[in-house]
Chain A
Amino acid sequence: MLDRRMLLYTLAVSVCLVVLGSGVAFAGGEVEQPTTEAQEVTLRIFARAYTWEQEAPWEVAKAEIQKRHPDTKFTWVEEGFGWADLRSKFLTAAAGGNPPDVAQVDIIWVGEYVEGGLLTDLTDKLNAWEHWPDVVDSYKEATKWKGPSYGTWLNTDVRIMCYNKKLFRNAGLNPDRPPEDWNQLYDMANKITSAPAYYGYGFPAMKEEETAMRFFAMTYSGGGQILTNDMKKAAFNSDAGVKALEFHVKMIEDGLTPKSVVSGHYGDIDNAVFQDKFAISYMTKTLGLAKKLIPDLTPEKFKQDFGAALIPKAPGGEYSTMAGGYLLSVPKGAQHPDLAWELISIGAAPDAQYKYTSARGYVPTFFSLMKKPEDYFSVDPFFNVILDSLPYAHFRPGLPQYTEISAAIQDAIQAAVLGQASPKAALDAAAAKVNQLLAQ
């Protein structure tokens, strides 16, 4: 039998455990007080994993900010993610009351984040920033959601066509005359294809954002668009959208593209161009990808074996491509918002953007950088094609529902490609779902 002391002891232990447990359970919700006097600052950055691989933007920004604040001891918490994880990790961290100080934000997430009250309005800071007037106007506009701006560009990208000259030569085609429209693309892909060794044309049809992106580029080329101008209804199931999807389905049905494009990663398709498995694909960078796959590849050798051109247009249509890219933003609830902005203003300034975009083969957003493309030719011999594409670039709608809209369109593309529905029926079904989402 237990005496009273034993009972009290047990009770005390229980209470301690409950209190301790509650403390652990709710610790995530506490907000750390900003450090002002201790001169020790921890800055957390959420970004794509690959942004940590080169000097710019982060190392450049970290070095400069340390120089500007010599008395401050910075501790950097650097977290790198894949595309989808970057969004879900940021949302989860923000929901837990523990957002990073700086977040890399895909341009299509801006609406969702702002509607959720997760990003800081940087309009005043941007207007006072010396480099803001140098940002291309259309890109300035893209940083806005319902008026205010929520970040500045780290980079943008556009899709261009990359093709394998070796496979062109094997098929007796002139490697300096790539296809300019879908009819030529079909004919050339038909001549090149020697399945299963290699195929004339590769496009992604897996459940990934890039699947929708490349479909959008073709839809715009035929005069279509993703949503109506007021963004209240689906518009991708127009004639232009249906023709774009029919073209893809025909490529599969005629064996010029393998059905395997419905699974795996879209990067596998782009890589396959440099592995002599696909003759043509659309991608955001060329030499940057190829260098990872082909050892000791020089720009000269690359130009000899591969080519790039604008994405072929719909017959009778216009050239078109899709632009994406990332902003650097300061989340609401960041522990050190002023230092975070300072870091961004260094990491996304023209000097750092040049280093970053040229190292990765991405596209700058500053007038001053676009005016000197020769600086980029050494890293991408087809940078002129990228610049030529910019006037034809379209953005996706940055609506909070965009992720679901895109998923519905990806489903439609898969259904059509796998022969489960006609392109028209698949796109109409997706449009019905999208209209429901937009009505909410």
Chain B
Amino acid sequence: MRKQSRIILSGYLLILPALSLIFLILIYPLIQAVLLSLQEVKLASLSRQTFVGLKNYLTVFTFVGPSFFRQVLPATFYFVAGSIAGQLGFGLGMALLVNQKWVRGKDIFRAIFILPWVTSAIVMAISWRFMYEPRLGVLNHLLVLMGATNLPGWLNDLNLVMPCLIIANVWHGTAFSFTLQTAGLQSIPYELYEAATVDGAAAGQRFRYVTLPLVRPFIMINLVLISMYTVNFFDLIYAMTNGGPLYRTEVIAVFLYHQAFEYGHMGRGAAVAVLILIINLLLTLLYMRLNRERVAEQKR
């Protein structure tokens, strides 16, 4: 019994360094953020903190210009949903294409496809902003060459601005999905496709009954990662629109920045950070649950 206790104790001691690091870089800041969210504190006077309980959360929920529930959350989910659909769809599509046996120069394609992912978001934002510029931009210049007269305002148009951002983000993030899906596709033994072909499966059926179930875990991981990444996404939007016009692109990360660093309400900013964490957790739980249900369904 004593020997077993010593083994257990030594096990805990062995993981203590890792746990200490996790505590220092993850748990401690998290606790600090939660505590800060319960304080009234300005960036210009961080040492003066007053405990206000849940007041910062109430202020965030009742904030006007932008309204959290009518503007920030819808903008966030619109951006996240659009980006995920685009990145996942294009990523999988491109991975499927490059994975075809008849494609030559796969390595070159992979290198080219990864380029947007390694491009700095600020450089990318400036490039896209220039393309969308209504008077001098490339897009409207091409439209004029094609004879268009009623030119879109792109980033100035309240209805177009979010799709414009999503397109830019999809261009940026598809490479990550492509890489992950390529890894998934390469893990599928080719014999399975041969067997399916021998059994008379058409291309669509091979995709549905062989490819999709086997890349499913990769899609799930991809979904979780890009969801979290997109919910937290800041730099591209900040540089392209700064949340405007009229808060149409004020996603939650930009909202946090404005509250905490532009207006200096650190407590309120921390409250928004906690809300982002909750959203991320909920999204992850949702995906995990969906995946578990699907796996259970397949086993039945």
Contacts and interface: CB of A to CB of B under 8 A. Distances in A.
Interface of A: 1-2, 6-7, 10-11, 13-14, 17-18, 21-22, 25, 84, 88, 91-92, 94-95, 112-113, 115-118, 196, 206-207, 258-264, 272, 277, 400, 403-404, 407-408, 411, 414-415, 418, 420, 429, 433
18 contacts: A1-B6, A10-B13, A11-B16, A14-B13, A17-B17, A88-B43, A116-B42, A259-B153, A260-B135, A260-B153, A262-B245, A263-B155, A263-B241, A264-B133, A277-B136, A400-B42, A407-B262, A414-B245
B31 to A, nearest CB: 13
Contact of A116 (B44, B64, B151): B44
Interface in B1-59: 3, 6-7, 9-10, 13-14, 16-17, 20-21, 24-25, 28, 42-46
A116 B265 CA distance: 12
Nearest to B250: A207
B246 A414 contact: yes
B204 interface: no
Give the residue among B6, B65, B129, B242 with the most A Cβ atoms within 10 A. Answer: B65
Contacts of A92: 43, 261
Contact of A260 (B21, B133, B262): B133
Contacts of A113: 44
Q: Which bracket fits the contact residues of B?
A: 35 or more
A411 B134 contact: no
A258 B13 contact: no
A433 B65 contact: yes
Given A91-B44, A92-B261, A260-B133, A13 B24 contact: no
Nearest to A208: B242
Contacts of A88: 43, 261-262
B75 to A, nearest CB: 15
Interface string B116-139: 000000000000010001111000
Contacts of B247: 411
Contact of A207 (B3, B136, B151, B243): B243
Interface of B: 3, 6-7, 9-10, 13-14, 16-17, 20-21, 24-25, 28, 42-46, 64-65, 129, 133-136, 151, 153, 155-156, 158, 161, 241-247, 258, 261-264
Nearest to A417: B245
A94 B16 CA distance: 35
Nearest to B265: A404
Contacts of A400: 42, 44
Contacts, number: 121
B13 A7 contact: yes
A415 B17 CA distance: 54
A10 B16 contact: yes
A351 to B, nearest CB: 33
A207 B244 contact: yes
Given A10-B17, A196-B135, A264-B155, 7 more contacts: A112-B44, A116-B44, A206-B244, A260-B153, A262-B245, A277-B136, A418-B156
Nearest to B244: A207
A212 to B, nearest CB: 14
B156 A260 contact: yes
A323 B281 CA distance: 48
A25 B156 CA distance: 43
B246 A6 contact: no
B14 A10 contact: yes
